[in-house]
Amino acid sequence: MTQAMDAFVAGLPKAELHLHIEGTLERSLREELARRNGIAPPQVPPFHDLTSFLVGYYASMQVLVTEHDFYDLAMAYFRKARSQHVVQRRSSSTRRRTRAAVSRSRRSSRGWTGRAPTRQPSSG
């Protein structure tokens, strides 16, 4: 492709038809979340098949500990999607959980403690 064609394609509106928000985790955020959560950053080698991909994927997911982590992940995805002119997004099975976590994190961001909330035992 030419530079003009690259620029044209980059400027087109796009739709994200299917994604799992956890799959949008990039290396830089993975490292930041590991530091923030006091865990060693996972070493994720390049993948060459489904098995090696899943090994790296599950290792990376270990840094997603708190609601705030999911908020930061979602916001990083939204910023990147906007920069790439994604105008419609549909996430998959984690959509409701992530949306709820983002909403709760926004409400509590001023007094964020870095600890995951605890569930109250149900009465019944």
Is 117 inside a domain boundary? no
The closest of 97, 100, 110, 88 to 22, measured between CA atoms, is 97
Write down the pLDDT at residue 93.
46
Write down the pLDDT at residue 17.
84
Global confidence as pTM: 0.66
Is 52 inside a domain boundary? yes
Write down the pLDDT at residue 122.
55
Is 123 inside a domain boundary? no
Q: Which domain holds residue 100?
A: 15-109
- What one-letter code names the amino acid at 56? G
Is 4 inside a domain boundary? no
Tokens of 104: 């709760």
pLDDT, average across residues 42-53: 92
